[in-house]
Chains A and B, each alone.
Chain A
């Protein structure tokens, strides 16, 4: 519980710092502030994907429907974060380079993850029987998990990309990774993941309540 207050405070801090600090990238200017929001959102989207896939695997092993409920909850939150990341990325691309979409490998991978999420829910929608739905959606997200991230690590190595270079890896370059910027960015990453956890808990609880309601509806009324 306490960590939720911490998350709230940290998020407030991140937002303030993001706008108060000098812009991380001098050439682009203020638009580069999106760095503090777009990247952590994408990270949260990927973390959510991994969690959903793990819960899917847990379901396949244990056949406990709670695992399936959690997989769906994580996917729901992940879909939201991935959408935020995609839209913020597109806005940034338009402001900086004049086009919304470039098909560069990172954008494409994020899109692929988003599409897997969407397809995951389409599949769940189409199957009525709970255990069949759980089993098939777990398999699908695991297959998606095998195909999509595989390319996240491979494609970027192969193509020249307009995407700002990954300064955390190469260290230096175009981004002025000063200490305040680095701290704020690190805090943003952690805060977003904590926010994901919070929302995941909420989604899971909502799922459980819905199950209760459905049960009551069928058995009591």
Chain B
């Protein structure tokens, strides 16, 4: 439609498509993330995997591997644009909302992609089973939403600061710590032999965190993106 204004969703999808296409051709973020995840998983499995591990070990190992793997790739969405000077182009091409949600969606896609690969491998390499699949998947999705919401804004901050990787982890962890604690506790419930509970209060907490941090990120983003 040459002369109509396309919808908000259409514009966000355009940014997502561009990022996915670029990622497909260069594979920067994906390589970093998967390499980290697989290496860590291999190391953990090698030393601990033989016997069955208690539920709380499995829970914390899962989230540690997932968190740090994701952190190694989630900054890229903004840092690469800043480094290659395409950020200026983007600032003059799209509105702030479109940029924030486009990058958010890309980061979410990256995290979900990682999880789709990591979860089966994790269960295989650590000889683990899940007692409660639907709770586990809900937890993983909500945790990912929260994590992506926080880190998208922080990635924009470090890209604007002109600094690299290490600071990204330093800034992300304090904001994500409140997410990590309930995540580990409720994931423990999903493994056999773990603590008991419905998991509902934790799910509510995770959903609340995701909503609040996404709203906060969205509101604060223009101050980071624009001078």
Interface residues of A (CB under 8 A from B): 60, 103, 105, 108-109, 111-112, 115-116, 118-119, 122-123, 126-127, 131-132, 135-136, 138-140, 142-144, 146-148, 150-151, 154-155, 158-159
Q: For the complex formed, measure the closest distance between the CB of A123 and the CB atoms of chain B, giving whole angstroms.
A: 6
Residue of A nearest to B224 (CB): A139
CB distance A108 to B181 under 8 Å?
yes
Interface centre among B167, B178, B208, B213 (most CB of A within 10 A): B178
Instruction: Choose the segment among B70-78, B94-102, B134-142, B153-161 that binds chain A (4+ C-beta atoms closer than 8 Å).
Output: B153-161
The 4 closest A-B pairs by CB, nearest first: A115-B174, A146-B216, A151-B178, A116-B174
- B150 proximal to A (CB < 8 A): yes
CB-CB < 8 A to A105: which residues of B?
Answer: 181
Question: Is the CB–CB distance between B153 and A132 below 8 Å?
Answer: no
Cβ-defined partner of B174 (8 Å) among A127, A131, A148: A148
List A contacts of B43 (CB < 8 A): none
Chain B interface residue bracket vs A: 20 to 34
- If over half of B's interface residues share one DSSP class (helix, strand or loop), that class is named, otherwise mixed; here it is helix
The A contact surface, by secondary structure, is: helix
Q: Which of B47-99 contact A (CB under 8 A)?
A: none
Alpha-carbon separation in the docked complex, A143 to B157 (Å)? 11
Q: Are A143 and B150 in contact (CB under 8 A)?
A: yes
Is there contact, CB below 8 Å, between A112 and B177?
A: yes
A122: which B residues are within 8 A, CB to CB? Answer: 167, 170-171
The 8 Å CB contact of A136, one of B173, B177, B224, is B224
CA distance A59 to B208 in the complex (A): 28
Which single residue of chain B is at the shortest CB-CB distance from A127?
B161
A148 to B175: give the CA distance in the assembly, Å.
7
Inter-chain CA distance A139–B100, complex, in Å, is 15
Smallest CB separation, A145 vs chain B (Å): 9
Chain B: which residue is nearest A124 at the CB level?
B161
Asked if residues B153 and A143 are in contact (CB atoms below 8 Å), the reply is: yes
Task: Give the residue name and chain of the B residue nearest to A111 (CB).
Answer: B177
Q: Verify B224–A135 contact, CB threshold 8 A.
A: yes
- 9 A–B contact pairs at CB < 8 A? A109-B178, A115-B174, A116-B175, A126-B167, A136-B160, A139-B157, A150-B208, A151-B178, A155-B178
